[in-house]
Amino acid sequence: MSKFWVITKQVYKRRVKTKSFLISLLFPVLIAALIAGIPKMVDYFDSSSDITKIAVLSDDPVFAKSLAADKNHFEVNTTIKDKKTAQSALKKGDIDGFVTITQENDTVGAIYTTQETAGQDVITRLTEDLTATKIAEKAAAYKITNEQLQSITSPVSVTNDLESNNQLTNHEKDVMSAAVLILTLVIFIFVMSYANIVASEIATEKGTRIMEVILSSVSATTHLFAKLTAIIFMLLTQIGFYVVCGAVVLIAGRNTEMVQNVLDQIAVFPAYYLVLNLLFVILGLLLYILLAAMIGSMVPNVETVAQFIYPMTILAIIGYWGSIAAANAPDNLLVVIGSYIPTFSPMMMLARMDLLSVSTIGIFSSLAILLASVVGAFFLTVRLYQGNVLLYSNDGLWKTWKTSLSYAKRK
């Protein structure tokens, strides 16, 4: 047992001290800080808050008056009456642009001329102001009062009345879809990172031919368990770091609007679903780590890790894209089938589950299949590792796989 902990400690210390681990540890925190700071950065650099200087060329002065009344967004130069003067003012920088308004057969059109591409905010504001002016003019022409106009244009209010308790409102679905996309992306990143770490960790020792020396003092099974334990400790270290960072942010910013919004969105999740989410995440990561260990044991050297692990990468990518499809169409037949396949279910069933598009029996069936797959992968990995760890074959993944299976059957 002492040898087990010696290997575990050595692998853990060596891995957590690497620059790549520190970068992977801090990178999501920096990204989250950047995302949280983007609104303030946008506000700081947002030029749309500046007043846009324009001229209005129209036979109907009401449009110029309407835009001039919008003092929060526009400053209208009323001395400019023709296109030539407007172009000259634009060239000198006296105005940011000029609006040419035409009316033909009750149709109003507008062209906003600028030196450079105008921001979408300015275009949107112009559209809203001119549309409101046009509606007001038409209402006056048709002798419609403001009350009648408001009655005509007011939107129909539609609310969602749920007969079943096991359904989500549209707002909850939006929150869940966003949460699913973030959670499955996190799973995908963890799968890809730790699968490569596990495979590389085993392949490195095989490539340097020191595996024979190691196995002369410790069994292959103990060697495998020690390495997997170290990698899992490493994974828990990373998750624990993010939990602590999240807790600090929530406590420090508990009175801010952003943190309150996050807490409100978390409150949307049923409590037991959070536990199920966690089980799918943990079992999914364990499955991929075990598969990576199995593949790593077949790799002759670290240079061929990427080639051998490529099929598993494809499975993870399919699972991730399947989760995106599940967030949009959780009842699609391919999504339903994929949510019961162990390599996909940690992402696809998780998406369907969080959108309440699957029954409780379906969730636990998928979870049971995933758990059985993890147990099966564990025993298969241990069995194959004992023969593969000293197998140095350059025949590629599938031929090496067949060879390792034949070795395992002989034992």
d(CA 220, CA 188): 29
Do 237 and 277 reside in the same domain of the chain? yes
Q: Which of 110, 144, 178 is the last residue of a domain?
A: 144
* In a shared domain, residues 380 and 271: yes
Please enumerate in sequence order all residues whose Cβ is within 8 A of that of 266, keeping only pairs 6 or more positions apart, or say none: none
Domain that residue 121 falls in: 52-144
User: What value does the mean pLDDT of the chain take?
Assistant: 81
Check: CB of residue 168 under 8 Å from CB of residue 180.
no
Please report where in the chains the tokens 């989760």 appear, as a residue.
323
Residue 150 lies in a domain: no
| Residue owning tokens 């681990």 | 21
Residues 122 and 17 in one domain: no
Is residue 279 situated within a structural domain?
yes
Tell me the two tokens of residue 67: 């835009």
Whether residue 41 is contained in a domain is answered as no
Q: Which residues, in sequence order, are CB contacts of 384 under 8 Å at separation 6+?
A: 294, 297, 298, 404, 405, 407, 408
Report the amino acid identity of residue 197.
I
Whether 44 maps to a domain, the answer reads no
Distance, CA of 411 to CA of 409 (rounded, Å): 5
**What mean pLDDT is predicted for residues 29-51?**
69
Residues 26 and 60 in one domain: no
Lowest mean pLDDT among 80-94, 142-156, 224-238: 142-156
Q: 158 pLDDT exceeds 80?
A: no
Residue 23 lies in a domain: yes
Name residue 111's beta-bridge partners.
100
Q: Give percent helix, percent strand, percent coil of the chain, each to the nearest 5.
A: 70, 5, 25
Residue 251 pLDDT level (bands cut at 50, 70, 90): confident
- Residues 218, 346, single domain; the answer is yes
**57, 58, 63, 68: CA torsion to nearest 10:** 30
* 236/190 same-domain check: yes
Are 365 and 338 found together in one domain? yes
Residue 370 pLDDT grade (very low, low, confident, very high; cuts 50, 70, 90)? very high
pLDDT of residue 307: 80
254 or 18, higher pLDDT: 18
Residues 27 and 58 reside in one and the same domain = no
286: CB partners within 8 A, 6+ apart: 374
Q: Which is nearest to 67 in space by CA: 80, 79, 46, 53?
A: 53
Q: Which two tokens stand for residue 254?
A: 């508990």
What is the tally of structural domains in the chain?
A: 2
Whether residue 361 lies inside any domain: the answer is yes
Is the pLDDT assigned to residue 165 strictly greater than 60? Answer: no
Asked if the structure places residue 151 within a domain, the reply is no
Whether 98 and 140 map to the same domain: the answer is yes
Please spell the DSSP secondary structure of 67-110, one letter per residue.
Answer: HHH-TTTEEE-TT--SHHHHHHHHHHTS-SEEEEEEEETTEEEE
What value does the mean pLDDT take over residues 71-97?
88
Region 78-104: what's the mean pLDDT? 88
Residue 45 covered by a domain: no
Average pLDDT (198-227) is: 75
CATH number of the domain that residue 105 is part of = 3.40.190.10
Q: For residue 108, which phi and psi values (nearest 5 degrees)?
A: -100, 130
Contact in structure between 234 and 340 (CB atoms under 8 Å)? no
Sequence-distant (6+) residues with CB within 8 A of 46 are: none
**Residue 104 and residue 233 in one domain:** no
Residue 219 shares a structural domain with residue 354 = yes
169-173, 221-225, 255-259: least confidently modelled range: 169-173
**Does residue 263 sit in the same domain as residue 213?**
yes
